[in-house]
Structure 1
Amino acid sequence: MRGFVVSAAVVAGVVMLSGCGGGDGGDDAKSGGSSAVADTAACEKAVTEQVKKSMGGDKAARDAEELPASCAGLDEATKEKIAERAAGAAIADALGGDEKESSQEPDAKADVKITACSKDEFGYPVAKLEVVNSTDKTQDMNVQVSFNGADGTRLAEGGTIVTALEPGQKAKEDAMGLKEISGKFTCKVGSVDRWESQ
């Protein structure tokens, strides 16, 4: 069941973005006699919400063919990043709704270490993680990270899903924030949920 949730989110995000106006004469490029201004953050927010609604069974969201004007003109690399983040956010949201308890032994949070904290080329915060499975069973993990300003204010949050991590196995993962931030910031592991892989 979990595999279906993941694939549904990825497919929804990619399919939606494949229809983004990109200079191919789409309706967005023609409206009002001037091209729409691409807005990465606004596009990502709208796509993420639409993917979540689609996964939740909203037929209108699932069947929608039009994207907001803010997506028009974005290059393929940017659209791919937005698709990944939208899918990731939808997956995290869906898994959180499963109401599964995280493993109590050993401490799941202790199995996650931040190895780098920076921004990508689009201004989004990224925490590089090293995740290890210290249990004796194959595990899936949902890692959430907060990106905090110098005064401790949470500026953004993001996360990543690690699947089928074998006992003692390590994985290198990136947890990306879901909005652009400016100034200095720190990356901090928020919550780590872990459950036995099915």
Structure 2
Amino acid sequence: MLTVGGGDDEPERETPASPSQPTARETSAPGLPQEESGARGDVKITACEVDPVTKWPSAELLITNRSSKASNYIVNVEFVDASNKRLSEAVAASNGVAPGQQSKVTAQGLDQITARITCRITDVTRYAS
């Protein structure tokens, strides 16, 4: 995982170090998830589904601000099928999350999907509000 930035006033972005390394968080991962540090560790996927009517994918996210300052978050999510093929992506944002406060947001994709999906966090940006 590559971390860019990190000061409380500077955006902190976390992205996978290499596309071949599975560093994104998945809801279908067996066992207990490992605790991640930095901004990525502040975000958890709580639900991953395809709407039965619209066929749009969505990921419910819980953001917990573990930093020392009120922060804004931008979370990128991808939706993949069983063969790891990316089917869609979405972005969710939450502003002014106080230290220790939680925020529930939805990353809503707009592509129609009929396959079973897995949701993965691909990027988290946190910066002081």
Amino acid at match of 1:171: S
**Residues 13, 124 of structure 2: 8 Å contact kept:** no
Q: Kindly name which structure, 1 or 2, has the bigger radius of gyration based on alpha carbons.
A: 1
Runs of 4+ in 1 over 4 A off after TM superposition: none
Amino acid at match of 1:178: L
Look up the match of 1:134.
66
Per-residue deviation, 1:101: 3.1
- Residues 1:165 and 2:66 are matched in the alignment: no
Amino acid at match of 1:175: A
- Bigger strand fraction: 2
Amino acid at match of 2:109: G
Query: Cα distance 1:169–1:157, how it changes in 2: closer, same or farther (>3 A)?
Result: same
Match of 2:12 among 102, 107, 114: 102
Look up the match of 1:28.
none
Per-residue deviation, 1:103: 6.3
Q: Percent identity?
A: 35
Look up the match of 2:27.
none
TM-score, length basis structure 2: 0.71
TM-score, length basis structure 1: 0.47
Match of 1:119 among 24, 38, 50: 50
Deviation string, structure 1 residues 145-178 (Cα, Å, up to 9, x no partner): 0000100011000011110000000011111113
CA RMSD of aligned residues (A): 1.5
Aligned length: 97
Higher relative contact order (CA 8 A, sep 6+): 2
- Bigger helix fraction: 1
- Residues 1:181 and 2:91 are matched in the alignment: no
**Residues 42, 63 of structure 2: 8 Å contact kept:** yes
**Residues 103, 195 of structure 1: 8 Å contact kept:** no
Alignment of 1:151-162 (within 5 A): 151-162=83-94
CA distance in 2: counterparts of 1:103 and 1:119, whole angstroms: 28
Consecutive unaligned residues of structure 1, counting only runs of 5 or more, are: 1-99
